Structure 1
């Protein structure tokens, strides 16, 4: 009987052949049931991560990001792709220094440093992708695609969203469609404290988990933090955007409000489905703040 907390034998054999040694294996998955990540440690104590993507699209996005954009962040600031297997939807990644901010107890000054560096790294990532040809068309359609998903999310959320909240979400989706063209970028797609690493020893930040990376409006990368940490810590918003090198334009700020509403409804669907109370609570709080008019 296969141990579900261990990689499949064929997958582990592939990783061992690639690394040139049989590694020890430790489960490093997130609590969600679709997360499959293992820490591999060689006899030399060098660590790697073996990750199986939940879906082919996520595998393709992360592979593209790690090959063509993430290297722009610099050494130790993002994993390097050692090998990939389309057959297994598997990625073999180098380890980078630090632990997720969500797992650390930091001083306010350290948090500010981490978010400032995180913003600077996002600026590098945003500039790294070649936004031309079909990629430009993909990026230009990203906000329209987000607005188009509103009705599906509302239907799936059901009675978790009140009638007043449904109307607000629909209104903001229509406002999103009416916005002028916004700055485009190659975005991380899941930029929040679970994926922002901080090394206390090095005083260095790094980003992981690029499976949602894509060409889109640059502002879309700030939605998770706007719906999460920034709600209580405006100083971290300031630090992140200082690192990013510019503030959001008025049009981007309005887009952020609209996107926050769509993100909240989506999270009210996926939070319970993935049994992730953090995501569900973030969504509920965002909608409450939007109804009260305090998320502007």
Structure 2
């Protein structure tokens, strides 16, 4: 049986050709089943990362993002694509200064700076995608597609939800169908503190992990932060949106609440499957806030 933590000879040979030298290898995947990432260090001490995508669609999304939208963030603000292999679903990426906010203890001022810069970078990303033709249609249908997923999520969650919780989720999902057209964007798709880097030395932020990037409603990029960090830190919400350059419209705020219900369903379903109590807790807490009417 192949050890998923071990870089295969074929992948190592591909990376060596792309880098022009044989690197030393260090396994640095996230502690979850489908994460496969290695740090590659050249004899010159320059570092790269080799990432194998879990699914073809994630490889395609991240490749598109890195080629066509992510460069708009600027040097050092996101990984750059050195090489890619559709055969291996592999991406060879440059290293970016900093560590995820989730892994650091920062002062409140530093946290605010990181979120403000993170919001500014999201604004650049949102404006970078080419919203023409099929891509615009994809973005325009994003909230409808989210609403369509609600019943499946509820069935999978089963009797883990009370009748009141099920009713609230259905109500909010249906409200997504009645909202007017919202601002569209090329979104990160997984924007929260696990993927927001902060460099204390440089005093700047960066985003990574674009495998869920896509064309959608811009507000969809704020759901994870609204359901996690912002729940206890409205000051960080304000900082992020200040950096973003605008507050959410009333219609976007309503969409955010509706989308939070669907994120809660995902957490309740996938948290136990992934053996991740923090994800499960996020889901139940969001549901409680929605049922009690205190989600903001």
| Structure 2 CA distance for aligned equivalents of residues 254 and 200 of structure 1 | 35
The structural deviation recorded for 1:159 is: 2.3
Matched, 1:111 2:111: yes
State the distance in 2 between where 1:282 and 1:9 align. Answer: 40
Counterpart in 1 of 2:265? 265
Structure 1, unpaired ranges of 5+: none
Cα displacement string for residues 12-59 of structure 1 (whole angstroms, at most 9, x for unaligned residues): 110011101111111111111111011111111100000000000000
Q: Distance in 2 between matches of 1:258 and 1:249?
A: 14
CA distance in 2, matches of 1:249, 1:3: 49
Matches within 5 A, 1:8-23: 8-23=8-23
Distance 2:46 2:277 in 1: 34
State the 1:97 CA deviation. 0.3
1:4: Cα distance to partner?
A: 2.8
Determine the structure 2 residue equivalent to 1:87: 87
What residue number does 2:174 align with? 174
Distance 2:139 2:150 in 1: 18
SS of match in other structure, 2:96: coil
Partner of 1:151, secondary structure, is helix
Q: Which runs of 5+ in 2 are unaligned?
A: none
1:26 counterpart = 2:26 = yes
CA distance in 2, matches of 1:27, 1:208: 17
The answer for the alignment partner of 2:229 in structure 1 is: 229
What's the CA shift for 1:160? 2.3
Q: What SS does structure 2 have at the residue aligned with 1:51?
A: strand
Confirm or deny: 8 A CA contact 1:161 1:265 kept in the other structure.
Answer: no
Distance 1:290 1:199 in 2: 35
Residue 186 of structure 2 is matched in structure 1 by 186
> Aligned to 2:38, what secondary structure does the other structure show?
strand
Note if contact 1:6-1:25 (Cα within 8 Å) is conserved in structure 2.
no
- Higher mean C-alpha deviation, range 150-159 or range 247-256: 150-159
Question: Equivalences for 1:235-246 in 2 at 5 Å?
Answer: 235-246=235-246
CA distance in 2, matches of 1:140, 1:157: 28
Moved more, 53-62 or 149-158: 149-158
Counterpart for residue 125 of structure 1: 125
**For residue 210 of structure 1, what is the aligned residue in structure 2?**
210
Question: 1:252, 1:170 → 2: CA distance?
Answer: 18
Contact 2:112 2:236 in 1 (8 A): yes
Deviation at residue 2 of structure 1 after TM alignment: 4.1
Give yes or no for contact 1:80–1:94 (8 Å, CA) kept in 2.
Answer: yes
Of the structure 1 ranges 65-74 and 155-164, higher mean CA displacement relative to structure 2 is found in: 155-164
**Structure 1, residues 152-186: CA drift from partner, whole Å, max 9, x if none?**
11111122222111110000001111000000000
Mapped contact 2:4–2:36 kept (Cα < 8 A) = no
**SS in structure 1 of the partner of residue 44 of structure 2:** coil
Q: Counterpart in 1 of 2:68? A: 68
CA-to-aligned-CA distance 1:117-149 (integer Å, 9 cap, x gap):
000000000000011111000000000000000
Normalised to the residue count of structure 2, the TM-score between the two structures is 0.99
